Structure 1
Amino acid sequence: MNKATFRELISNKILILDGATGTQLQKKGMPTGVCPEQWVYENPDVIKSIQKEYIESGSNIIYTCTFGGNRIKLDEFGIGDRTVELNRCLAKYSKEAAGDKCLVAGDLASTGRFIKPLGDMDFEDCVNIYKEQVKGLLEGGVDLFVIETMLDIQEARAALIAVKESCDLPVCVSMSFDENFRTLTGTDPITALITLQSLGADVVGCNCSTGPVQMLKIISMMKPYAKVPLMAKPNAGLPKLINGKTTFDMKPEEFGSYIKEFIDAGVNLLGGCCGTSPDYIKQIYLESRNLKPAVVSSEPYSAITSCRKTEFFGLNKPVAIVGERINPTGKKQLQAELREGSTHEIRKFAAEQVEKGANILDVNVGMPGIDEKATMLNTVSLLSSIIDAPLCLDSSSPEVLEAALRIYPGRALINSISQEKVKLEKLLPVAAKYGAMFILLPLSDEGVPEKAEQRKVIVENVFAKAAEFGYQKNDVVVDGLVMTVSANQEAAAETLKLIDWCSKEFGCGTIVGLSNVSFGLPERSWVNAAFLAMAISKGLTMAIANPSSELLMNIKMACDVITMNDVNSKSYISYFGSQPKPTAGEVRIQAQDKKIGDRIFDAVLNGDTEIIGTLIEKALEEKVSARDIVDNHLIPAINQVGKYFDEKKYFLPQLIQSAETMKKGFTFVEPLLKEAVTAEEKEVVIIMATVKGDIHDIGKNIVALMLRNYGFIVHDLGKDVSAETIIDKAKSLNAHIIGLSALMTTTMVEMREVIKLAKEQNLNCKFMIGGAVVDADYAKEIGADGYSKDAYEAVKLAKRLSE
């Protein structure tokens, strides 16, 4: 099916998806603990019968049984070399079940591993893993693709790129969000939507993790910004354990009562996830058969994203500040660090600029004597994990920008594309491929036009070319291209004319690099600030500047009020109502004057693994004791990180980076301590395992990593582990705590069996449980000593249980 036909189909009717597959397979005889893809391959009639039931109930699209069909998951069963074959055959089974009654979507899901720097997998390796699976599904004849239950926006991007680079079939991407409307790695629904639709997803939505009520809220958040149709596959409410069996608390009729609300909220594709049998899909059909899908439309907006934040800007909005400091020009210390491969100065500049009010960070690492491409990739990877602000990727090399766009986990802004032949021919198609916004620089191969009228012609020419790639005016920001007034006093006036034309006639955002206007003059800050105020009065929407300039930021905040772009002066009041902010010079002095212990604290807080060793060595040289470093600096820092995580100021990437930094710090001081330093001043041994029948381990792996980084002795038994194996290992290691994980409603009952066996064998240890399908009430019901909802909660629980 081509994309145009698919779009027409979606616009005319509500498309009904299928429901849960795993639970239906188990009802029809699939044993726990087996590879679902292999079992279905060997029992084709079972999956065909299930899918025919869904079709008879009203499904217009069924998913192939390939949720775990990527090489990484199949390797866990020793059959990774059969990836293409299994996906091809399972796709054919679904096509046979579908006949001409419905469409078949090739199903891709998580690999269970994280991409660097959060995990150990290279981005390109992840793309290739998905391409292999896509190859098999294409050979099996799928009509479209669905990327579902994604917990990490970067992995979702990798899967989407894999499909786009393999075929032209429609592709839908569905993320899973928690009760705080965040994915596991901290992405909110609006950010996920804008990132994925910009990258080329034909449909975006959510599935799993929640029932209809919570999912309706997520869809309502997405709808105002959706330029593509939306999809939803909620669970059948919440799982309950009744008479030893997992059931969901929402019956088909109640599930069906929410269908009209979903359609009114903007959903065009609707199905069910955990707990939804064909009876639930029948209810969707009955409730939606006389309803029409909402029109896909949104008010024009300009926005770029990081993996955790969306930054809106443009006409009638406050001026966005693009921090200019991450640029080696004129910065000897940064130049030296870039040559050495160090990132300390980049970290500092990033943190300072965001603290001072930068909305976006410009990243330029171009300089002689380094590999610019490798340096840019390392910098983008680092900043994406430690800073929420979106990035403006700045390079004169199309190759460098293409590489950076590919791995950037959001929608980036490119600086810049001009009428120069190489930029139009090489960079514009790349920008369009990755859905980036771009700064339009009004210059050509002939150079920089002096007059605004000449620049207008270039702007129109470049945009006309960009429109061929689907760009709209709100996707482009025109650089006013201000030249220094010390050389040409008319330069600023010509730039102001162009800004005025862009905002009032052409209808797009504008940006200027403020420092250019004052070059060669004394007391440059006054010229920069005056020009900023004049440009804002003409409609300027963005400025590349140093946010540490108090004069500049004060003028910007005041102008936002006067131009009525700061509604009710809220930002102005907040900005000036806070404590006085030090200047950039004061920040540097303060950082240098900080005591060594405070700098160790900051390194852990900021996840700076590069500098922590140097700081601890310096502290030891200054006769700070190892015990003092641990008790008064490392431990308090990681506790503060945990507090930020609880308050949702930090998310999983920052949590892991800080924990890794603390762990590295321990390696320097531990040999100097009289006894091993652990979280509770004793060796607390913890057994971790995903219970029998369950092959999901990503959450358990994160918990194990965090526990180790807090000093616990962790033995990870893996997934699909029997009760007997868990108890035997706990006995042999004299474990203090056993941590159990389950992600499936059908396997959560195995937790009870482990605890029961432990009691029968008089094993004296504590139990903690976790996983998407369990909660504190379930922990009490099965006799566990505690439940944790995430990795940091698991650390706190382990500390309590080991007292």
Structure 2
Amino acid sequence: MDKAQFRELISNKLLILDGATGTELQKKGMPTGVCPEKWVFENPHVIKSIQKEYIKEGSNILYTCTFGGNRIKLDEFGLGDRTVELNRSLASFSREAAGNKCLVAGDLASTGRFIKPLGDMSFEECVNIYKEQVKGLLEGGVDIFVIETMLDIQEARAALLAVKESCDLPICVSMSFDENMRTLTGTDPVTALITLQSLGADVVGCNCSTGPGQMVQIISMMKPYARVPLMAKPNAGLPKLVNGTTIFDMEPEEFGEYTKDFLKAGVNLLGGCCGTSPDYIRQIYMKSSGMKPEATVFKPYSAITSIRKTVAFGFSRPVAIVGERINPTGKKQLQAELREGATHEIRRFAAEQVEKGADILDVNVGMPGIDEKEAMLSTVSLLSSITDAPLCLDSSSPEVLEAALRIYPGRALINSISQEKVKLERLLPVAAKYGAMFILLPLSDEGVPEKAEQREAIVKNIFDKAAEYGYQKSDVVVDGLVMTVSANQEAAVETLNLIAWCAKEFGCGTIVGLSNVSFGLPERSWVNAAFLAMAVGSGLTMAIANPSSDLLMNIKMACDVITKNDINSRNYISFFNNRQKPSAVEAQAKAEAKKIGERIFDAVLEGDNEIIGALISKALDENIGARDIVDNHLIPAINQVGKLFDEKKYFLPQLIQSAEAMKKGFIYVEPLLKQNGSVQEKEIIILIATVKGDIHDIGKNIVALMLKNYGFKVYDLGKDVSAETIINKAKSLKAHIIGLSALMTTTMVEMKDVIKLAREQNLSCKFMIGGAVVDADYAREIGADGYSRDAYEAVKLAKRLSKD
């Protein structure tokens, strides 16, 4: 099925997806702990019977039983070399079950590993892993692809690119959001939607994690920004343990009652996830009879994203400031660090500009004597982890921009595409492939036209080419190309004329680099500020500037009020209520004047493992004791990180970076602590494992890392670990605490068996549990001593249990 046919199919009707597969397989005899893909391969009649039942009850799309069918997951069962074979066979089983009654979706899900810098897997490695699985699914005859239950937007991007680069079939991408409506790595629904639809997803939505009530809210958040159809696959409420069996608290009839709400919210594809059987699908079918998805009128908008934030800009919105400081021109310290591969100045410029009001960060690392491509990739990777601000990728090299776009975990802005032949032919298809917005530079191989009318002609030509790739005017920002007035006093007027034409006639946003206008003049800030005010009055929507300029930012805030783009002057009032913040120079001086202990604290808080070793060495040279460093600086810092994580001001990337900085800090002080006999009096031993039958370990790995960084002695047994193995190891190690993890409703019951076996063998250790499917009530029910919902809570719980 091609994309046009798929769009036509879902244009005016609800497509019904299938329900849960794993629990249905277990009902039919699949044992826990086996590889589902291998078991289904050996028992094809079972999956065919289940899927035929879903078709009978109303499903229009079946998912192949390949949720864990990527090489990384299959390797855990020694089956990685059979990836293509298993996916091909499993897809053919679904193809046979579907016949001509139903579409078959090739199912891709998480590998269980993180992409750098969060994990050890490169982006290209991840793409290639998915391509291998896609190959088998294509050979098995799937009609479309679905990328589901994704917890990390970067991994979702890798899977999406793998499919796009392998075939032209329709692609659906479904993320999982927690109760705070964020993914594990902190992406909100709107940001996920804009990133994925821009990259080429034909359908975007959510599945798992929540019941239908909260998922309706997520769809409602996405709908105003959706250029593509939306999908939802909620769980059947919350899991509970009853008589040793996991059940969900929502019956099929209640589940089906949400169908009308989903249709009103704008869903085009609806099914069920954990706990949903064919009975639940029948309810969707019955409740949707005679109904259509709510039609909405799409309103154009301009927006780019980072991993955790969307920045929208354009008409009727405040002028967006693109911070210009991450650029080595005229910055000797930054130039030196780029040559050395150091990042302190980049970190400082990023934090300083965001604090001063930059909405977007321009990233330019081009300079002689370095590998610009590698420098750009490392900078983009760093900034994507440490700041929420989206990036404007700035380079004269098409190769550098293409490489950066590929790994950027959001929707970027490109600076820039002109009518120069090499730029237009090389960059436009690349920008379209990765869904980037771009700054349209009215410049040709002949140079910069002096008159606005000549620039207008170039704008039209470039946009006509961009439209062939699907670009709309809201996806493009025209650079006014202001030249210095000291050389040509007509230059600013022509730029203002072009801005006005874009705003009033062409219908496109505009941007200018403010500092150009005043080059060669004294007291340049006045010229820059005056030009900004006049440009905003002409319709300017963005400006590349230094947000540390008080004059410039004051004028910008006032212009937003006067143009009615700052509703009720909220931004203006907030901005000037915070005027007591020190200037950039004062802030730098204050930072340098900080005592060494405070700088160690800040290094952990900011996740700067590059500088923490040098800071600790300096502290030791100043005769600050190792125990003092740990107790008064390292531990308080990681506690503050945990507090910020708890408050949802920090997310997993910051948590991991800070934990790594903490870990590196301990490497420097631990030998001295042992040498001085200043070690923890009672070493607390924690054994941690994912229970039998469960092969999910991302959350467990994060918990283990955090516990280690807080000084606990952690032994990680891995995943799919039997009760006997856990208890025997706990005995030999004399463990004080056992931590158990489960992410599946079918395996959470194993936790009870581990605790039961421990009590039968008179082990006195404490038990803590965690995982997406368990909660505090479940912990009490099975006799555990505590439950933690994330890594930071696990540390607090372990501290409490170690004192009991």
Q: What TM-score do you get using the length of structure 2 for normalisation? A: 0.99
Post-superposition offset of 1:347: 0.5
CA shift, 1:698, in A, is 1.5
**Partner residue, 1:512:** 512
Is 1:119 aligned with 2:148? no
Give the structure 1 partner of residue 469 of structure 2.
469
Contact 2:440-2:479 within 8 A present in 1 as well: yes
Q: Is residue 2:662 matched to residue 1:668?
A: no
Give the conservation status (yes or no) of the 8 Å contact 2:71–2:83.
yes
Corresponding residue of 1:703: 703
Look up the match of 2:417: 417
In the alignment, the residues of structure 1 paired with residue 146 and residue 192 of structure 2 have an alpha-carbon distance, to the nearest angstrom, of 16
Residue 679 of structure 1 deviates from its aligned partner by 10
Instruction: Give the corresponding residue for 2:765.
Output: 765
Residue 24 (str. 1) matches residue 62 (str. 2)? no
Residue identity opposite 2:367 in structure 1: M
Q: Aligned ranges for residues 489-504 of structure 1 at < 5 Å?
A: 489-504=489-504
Matches of 2:530 and 2:519, distance apart in 1: 14
Distance 1:478 1:238 in 2: 50
In 2, Cα distance between equivalents of 1:171 and 1:588: 48
Could you tell me how far apart the structure 2 residues matched to 1:68 and 1:731 are? 33
CA distances 1:620-679 after superposition (whole Å, capped 9, x unpaired) = 112222122111111111111111111111000000100100110111111112479999
Pairs within 5 Å for 1:158-177: 158-177=158-177
Residue 373 of structure 1: aligned partner: 373
- 1:780 and 2:780 correspond: yes
Q: Distance in 1 between matches of 2:425 and 2:296?
A: 32
Q: CA deviation at 1:63?
A: 0.3
Partner residue, 2:211 = 211
Residue 436 of structure 1 is matched in structure 2 by 436
Q: CA deviation at 1:58?
A: 0.5
Counterpart position of 2:155: 155
Contact 1:229 1:296 (8 Å CA) reproduced: no
Distance 1:329 1:130 in 2: 40
Q: How many angstroms apart in 2 are the aligned matches of 1:380 and 1:559?
A: 32
Per the alignment, residue 82 of structure 2 pairs with: 82
Kept in 2: contact 1:679–1:712 (CA 8 A) = no
1:683 positional shift:
2.0
SS at match of 1:307: coil
Deviation digits for residues 397-425 of structure 1 (CA, Å, limit 9, x no counterpart): 00000000000000000000000001110
Q: Residue in 1 aligned with 2:625?
A: 625
Secondary structure of the structure 1 residue equivalent to 2:611: helix
Stretch of structure 1 that moved more, 708-717 or 276-285: 708-717
Residues in 1 aligned to 2:753 and 2:323: alpha-carbon distance in whole angstroms: 56
CA–CA distance in structure 1, aligned partners of residues 683 and 324 of structure 2: 48
Q: Which residue of 1 aligns with 2:102?
A: 102
Q: Which residue of 2 aligns with 1:182?
A: 182
User: What is aligned with 2:287?
Assistant: 287
Pairing 1:346–2:346 present? yes
CA-based RMSD of the aligned residues comes to: 1.1
Match of 1:603 in 2: 603
Number of aligned residue pairs: 803
Letter in 2 for 1:239: P
Name the structure 2 match of 1:741.
741
Cα 1:678–1:172, aligned 2, differ >3 Å: closer, same or farther?
Answer: farther
Q: Distance in 1 between matches of 2:48 and 2:360?
A: 51
- For the residue of structure 2 that corresponds to 1:85, the secondary structure is helix
For 2:75 and 2:447, locate their aligned partners in 1 and report how far apart those are by CA, in whole Å: 56
The unaligned stretches of length 5 or more in structure 2 are: none
Listed one character per residue, the Cα deviations across residues 375-407 of structure 1 (whole Å, up to 9, x for unaligned) are 100000000011000000000000000000000
- The structural deviation recorded for 1:289 is 2.0
Alignment pair present for 1:636 and 2:636: yes
Contact kept in structure 2, 1:16 and 1:59, CA below 8 Å: yes
Residue 239 of structure 2 corresponds to residue 242 of structure 1? no
> What is the distance in 1 between the residues matched to 2:328 and 2:86?
51
> Using the alignment, how far apart are the partners of 1:310 and 1:200 within structure 2?
18
CA distance in 1, matches of 2:292, 2:285: 12
Once the 2 structures are TM-superposed, how far is the Cα of residue 681 of structure 1 from its aligned partner?
Answer: 5.6
CA distance 1:314–1:372, change in 2 (3 Å): same
Corresponding position of 1:483: 483
Ranges in structure 1 where 5+ consecutive residues have no aligned partner? none
User: What amino acid is the match of 1:569?
Assistant: S
- Aligned residues of 1:431 and 1:437 also touching (Cα < 8 A): yes
Given residue 372 of structure 2, which amino acid in structure 1 is its aligned partner?
E
Contact persistence 1:11–1:295 (CA under 8 A):
no
SS of the residue corresponding to residue 298 of structure 2 reads coil
Moved over 6 A (4+): 675-680
Aligned-partner SS, 1:609? coil
Q: Report the Cα offset of residue 684 of structure 1.
A: 1.5
Asked whether the equivalents of residues 190 and 310 of structure 2 are also in contact (C-alpha less than 8 Å), the reply is: yes
Displacement after TM superposition at 1:709 (Å)? 2.0
The alignment partner of 1:511 has SS state of strand
| Contact residue 441 and residue 481 of structure 2 kept, 8 A | yes
If the length of structure 1 is used for normalisation, what is the TM-score?
0.99
Contact 1:680 1:799 in 2 (8 A): no
Query: Matches of 2:488 and 2:379 in 1, distance apart?
Result: 36
Do the aligned partners of 2:673 and 2:679 also contact (CA within 8 Å) in 1? no
Give the whole-Å Cα distance in 2 for the aligned partners of 1:611 and 1:354. 21
Aligned to 2:42: 42
Mapped to 1, the partners of 2:690 and 2:470 lie a distance apart of 46
Contact 1:417 1:440 survives alignment (8 Å): yes
CA contact (8 A) 2:627 2:678 kept: no
- Within 5 A, what are the aligned runs for 1:269-308? 269-295=269-295, 297-308=297-308
Offset at 1:682? Answer: 3.7
Mapped pair 1:268 → 2:265: no
- Counterpart CA distance in 2 for 1:644 and 1:335 is 33
Q: What letter corresponds to residue 595 of structure 2 in structure 1? A: K
Counterpart-to-counterpart distance in 1, 2:719 and 2:163: 29
**Counterpart in the other structure of 2:531:** 531
* Partner Cα separation in structure 2 for residue 186 and residue 40 of structure 1: 35
Cα separation, 2, equivalents of 1:319 and 1:696? 45
State the Cα deviation string for residues 753-788 of structure 1 (Å, max 9, x = none).
111111111111110000111000110111111100
Q: Can you list the C-alpha shifts for 1:595-643, whole angstroms capped at 9, x where unaligned?
A: 1111111111110011101111111112222122111111111111111
One-letter identity of the residue aligned with 2:485: V
- Match in the other structure for 1:565: 565
2:323–2:544 Cα contact (<8 Å) kept: yes
Residues in 2 aligned to 1:85 and 1:243: alpha-carbon distance in whole angstroms: 39
2-structure distance, mates of 1:689, 1:74:
19
